[in-house]
Structure 1
């Protein structure tokens, strides 16, 4: 037992007592540790990115005026804001929406889902979708994950939220099931 503790002390001492413990970490671990120490993107990781006023007003157009079927948002790292990347006209379908999402990068989106209830009533529900494909790089995944809650709070009137890492997690049937 004493030998084990001695060996552990020999291995961990440079990490514990060094002024620069990152030199003992692998480059990959060091990048992850630095990202968490500095905050993702150099800012405060818990607060997330700012939200462009245009993003909120475009969401309100979708919500109140039905001007858009969907809105896709992205994080602009230069301005450190969530901005509108694309809007879909009211005539566009859910397939058009899913085809607009990048296969290998993260995005936020809202989709105005129209459906008919079992009582034959026309209804509409707004879905917030956090798209984070499994093939996306780690940095964007962390950036979008830490900014999601703040951005989501800015969009008043969301009915349902979906977090998807794969297209099957946000198929039309998933929305229908959640809305009913």
Structure 2
């Protein structure tokens, strides 16, 4: 916690909710995308999008990510990614990324970069920690390549075969 920023308890509780799937859980009520920001020296939940929220115009999770990650504001995102591997079928992994666009101020970028470790310590079991800076990186193709797996489909987007 080099920046002195604290993580609110709600962030920890929400992470635990996303990490543990119970058989009797309603899939529509499960959090899929959670946006965090830093406000008043604390990392806080800014927005929770559940599966039921990703209907209609917001059905494409990558469009949602692009609208939530502003061109001039930093944030963190915890994303329950659904994808398919050719060999083993459907999978889900939590992806954590820090969004620090080049258009954001230097001070804001520095605070978010130095506070990221506080979340990484809490988000145990997350396999993919990414740093994203450009809108083009908020895509199925980019995330699939960053995950380093032979992904054939991500959130309904067919992936190009990589060699």
Which residues of 2 match residues 1-180 of structure 1 at below 5 A? 46-65=2-21, 67-77=30-40, 80-91=41-52, 92=54, 93-177=61-145, 178=147, 180=149
Taking the aligned partners of 1:46 and 1:89, their CA distance within structure 2 comes to: 32
Question: Would the alpha carbon gap of residues 96 and 170 (structure 1) be closer, same or farther in structure 2, given more than 3 Å must change?
Answer: closer
Taking the aligned partners of 1:148 and 1:120, their CA distance within structure 2 comes to: 32
> How many angstroms does 1:122 deviate by?
1.0
Taking the aligned partners of 2:69 and 2:13, their CA distance within structure 1 comes to: 21
**Quick check: which one's strand share is greater?**
2
Larger radius of gyration: 1
Taking the aligned partners of 1:88 and 1:179, their CA distance within structure 2 comes to: 26
> How many angstroms does 1:170 deviate by?
3.2
Taking the aligned partners of 2:140 and 2:126, their CA distance within structure 1 comes to: 17
> How many angstroms does 1:98 deviate by?
2.5
Cα-to-partner distance string for 1:112-153 (whole Å, 9 max, x where unaligned): 110111125110111111100000011111111111111211
> How many angstroms does 1:63 deviate by?
2.1
Q: TM-score, normalised by structure 1?
A: 0.68
Q: Which runs of 5+ in 1 are unaligned?
A: 1-44
Q: Greater shift after overlay, 80-89 or 65-74?
A: 65-74
CA RMSD, 1 decimal: 1.7
1:106–1:132: 8 Å Cα contact kept in structure 2?
Answer: yes
Taking the aligned partners of 1:58 and 1:82, their CA distance within structure 2 comes to: 13
**Quick check: which one's helix share is greater?**
1
Taking the aligned partners of 2:71 and 2:20, their CA distance within structure 1 comes to: 30
| RCO higher in structure (CA 8 A, sep ≥6) | 2
Cα-to-partner distance string for 1:63-105 (whole Å, 9 max, x where unaligned): 224611110000012xx21000001112422321221122211
| Structure 2 match to 1:37 | none
Tell me the SS of whatever aligns to 2:103. coil
Runs of 4+ in 1 over 4 A off after TM superposition: none
Q: Greater shift after overlay, 124-133 or 163-172?
A: 163-172
2:32–2:80: 8 Å Cα contact kept in structure 1?
Answer: yes
